[in-house]
Chains A and B, each alone.
Chain A
Amino acid sequence: MAANPIRKFKDKQTLSKLRSHDKEAFIKVYDDHVAEIYRFVYFKIGNKEEANDLTSIIFLKTWNHIQNNSLVDAKTLRALLYKVARTSIIDYYRETGNKLSVTDSLDDENNRIEVVDEALNSEEKIDREADLELIKSKLPLLKEEYREVIIMKFINDLSLDEIAEISGKNKGNVRVLLHRALSALKALVEGDGKL
């Protein structure tokens, strides 16, 4: 949420520019948010190629939405992007007729996470990648809403206010949901006995 005045000002400025069909503002929004929207989509649907396509569609839909609406349904641009992403993913599920299953490809060879950290030695890198792969493999086993809040809070670093606005819940409910989701994922991962 635009808690501090500078962020609030920048949000208003960007929205006004987008409404005025400003190309540069759109590119800035794309550069600032594409990675997190991609991550959100990717961890929800579990397929890299489709995540690419959906991310592209989400930005285009957001652009069209801003041109055609007064934005009363979302307080910030970031929240709007996530709302559009959620509805796009739901549409995707409807069209393809399936949800991410345990056997889907979050952890296949093509989607291996590339961790770039020069400070880590090779053994630490291997351990860390193994941990991440394990978590990644367990994420699809979670309930849809659990997975969603974990992605938003712990992977994309959204605030409780932002998650509450995007998901249409109050902050207290989001906090409870996060706690349950984290416990469920931790139990799944620890049940595997590797972490």
Chain B
Amino acid sequence: MTEKDFIVKLNNLRSTAPDEAWLKSNRELLLNQISNSGAANLSVWKTFVINFSSLAKASVRPAYALGAFVFILVMGSLFGNQVFSNVKPNDSLYIARIISEKAKLNTVLNSDSHDKLAAQFATQRAQDISAVLADPKFNTDQNQTQVASLSASFNQEINTAKTQLDHITPVPSAPADVAVSIADNAKDNQGMQVAANPLGQTVSYATVSEATSSKGSDKTATSSATSTPAKTNSADDTTVILDQAQKLFDQKNYNQALDKLKEADQLINNAN
């Protein structure tokens, strides 16, 4: 007989029960005895108070646990990336840094700010990888596996940063009046006049472009007025710098790559 069968047979002893008659008579007997010691039926109000306080006592621990969980989640999302920002890619807590950065990213709702922050995090991680690989104590023959892994991570981070920069929506940072002024200067050279907007509103690029192209002679004005916004230029510049950093990294010029990445980080940081 197996142990399981034996346990089933033991479980069957549950059928042992006192006599029904004794149960009833003993119930009455006990009820009489406790009634003599002051037992009574509770009032509705007393029952309500007991139910309410029991509910509060039973739920206080789960409520604390839930509160603590939410608190840790919120604090982790808001400040976790600061706590782990100094963790290097060869540290065991590096995964915590990545998670905290992702948590921080999830708290940013604006898509441009999100992309900018993602690019910044990727660039910073790439910087840290370069710094680690630039360290001769780490970058040894014995650590070649880790070095190869970090190199792959570096390329991944650079690609992430470039992708995020591409996502940033180009917003014209050069106001229309600047464009008008450029067009105005160009037309002044040809004895033409650009009328001021009677409503005092900004002039659109299309208006300026039409004004310039209708004459069909002012190539300078057209190119100035329809020029790419400054932010796009900034993103392009950053992408170029990231490409340069990648090339330097591939050539194992880690320190120079690091300088380039710092430059890119600065550009991303300064971008509005």
Identify the A interface with B (CB < 8 A). 5, 8-9, 12-13, 16-17, 20-24, 26-27, 30-31, 34-35, 38-39, 42-43, 51-52, 55-56, 59-60, 63-64, 67, 113-116, 128, 131-132, 135-136, 150, 154-157, 182, 185-186, 189-190, 195
A56, B9: Cβ atoms closer than 8 Å: no
Residues 9-52 (chain B) with a chain A CB within 8 angstroms: 9-18, 22-23, 26-27, 29-31, 33-35, 37-42, 46-47, 50-51
**Which residue of chain A has its CB nearest to the CB of B14?**
A155
How close is B142's CB to chain A, nearest CB, in angstroms? 44
| Distance, CA A114 to CA B53, complexed state (A) | 43
Name the contact of A23 in the complex, choosing from B7, B31, B51, B55 (C-beta under 8 A).
B31
**Contact residue among B9, B15, B18 (Cβ-Cβ distance under 8 Å from A135):** B9
B34–A12 touching, CB < 8 Å: no
The answer to whether A150 touches B10, judged by C-beta atoms less than 8 angstroms apart, is: yes
- Whether B29 contacts A56 by the Cβ 8 Å rule is yes
| Contact of B51 with A56 in the complex, beta carbons under 8 Å | no
> Is the pair B16, A9 in contact by a Cβ cutoff of 8 Å?
no
Provide 30 A-B residue pairs closer than 8 Å at the C-beta atoms, listed in order of the A residue.
Answer: A8-B58, A12-B58, A16-B53, A17-B50, A20-B46, A20-B50, A21-B38, A21-B39, A23-B35, A23-B40, A26-B31, A26-B34, A27-B27, A35-B18, A39-B16, A56-B29, A56-B30, A59-B30, A60-B33, A132-B9, A132-B12, A132-B13, A132-B15, A154-B11, A155-B16, A157-B14, A182-B3, A182-B6, A182-B7, A185-B10
Residues on B with C-beta less than 8 A from A63 are: 30, 34, 37, 39
CA distance A131 to B30 in the complex (A): 36
With A and B bound together, what is the CA distance between A47 and B17 in angstroms? 13
Contacts of B40 in A (CB 8 A): 21-23
Asked whether any CB of chain A lies closer than 8 Å to the CB of B136, the reply is no
Residues of A within 8 A of B216 (CB): none
Q: Are B17 and A35 in contact (CB under 8 A)?
A: yes
A62 to chain B, nearest CB (A): 10
Per CB-CB distance, the 9 closest pairs between chain A and chain B, nearest first, are A9-B58, A12-B54, A154-B10, A13-B54, A16-B50, A23-B39, A8-B58, A38-B18, A21-B39
The interface on chain B, measured as residues whose beta carbon lies within 8 A of the other chain's beta carbons, has a size of: 41
Contacting residue for B9 out of A67, A114, A131, CB 8 A: A131
Residue on A with the closest CB to B62? A5
Cβ–Cβ < 8 Å partners of B42 in chain A: 17, 20, 22, 24
State how many angstroms separate the Cβ of A75 from the closest Cβ of chain B. 13
A-contacting residues of B (Cβ < 8 Å)?
A: 1, 3, 6-7, 9-18, 22-23, 26-27, 29-31, 33-35, 37-42, 46-47, 50-51, 53-55, 57-59, 62
**A12 B23 Cβ-Cβ under 8 A:** no
Q: Which residues of B contact A150 (CB under 8 A)?
A: 10
The smallest C-beta distance from B1 to any residue of chain A, in angstroms, reads: 5
Is the beta-carbon distance between A39 and B33 smaller than 8 angstroms? no
Residue of A nearest to B42 (CB): A22
Contact A27 B33 (CB under 8 A): no
Smallest CB–CB gap between A80 and chain B, Å? 16
Q: Is the beta-carbon distance between A113 and B15 smaller than 8 angstroms?
A: yes
Evaluate contact between A38 and B17: CB separation under 8 angstroms.
yes
Complex formed: what's the CA distance from A113 to B23 in Å? Answer: 17
Q: Known interface pairs A9-B58, A12-B58. Does A115 touch B15 (Cβ–Cβ under 8 Å)?
A: yes
Cβ–Cβ < 8 Å partners of B50 in chain A: 13, 16-17, 20
A21 to B37, CA, bound (A): 9
Query: Which B residues are in CB contact (< 8 Å) with A135?
Result: 9-10, 13
Of all chain B residues, which has the CB nearest A63? Answer: B34
Distance A19 CA – B51 CA, assembled complex (angstroms)? 13
What's the Cα separation between A20 and B15 when bound, in Å? Answer: 34
Residue of A nearest to B10 (CB): A154
Beyond A63-B37, A154-B11, list 13 extra A-B contacts (CB 8 Å). A17-B47, A20-B42, A21-B39, A21-B40, A22-B40, A30-B30, A31-B27, A35-B17, A38-B18, A60-B34, A132-B12, A135-B10, A157-B14
In the docked arrangement, what's the CA distance between A26 and B15, Å?
A: 24
From A13, A27, A113, give the contact of B16 (CB < 8 A): A113
Chain A residues within 8 Å of B57, by CB:
12
A159 to B23, CA, bound (A): 26
Contact indicator B58/A186 (Cβ below 8 Å): no
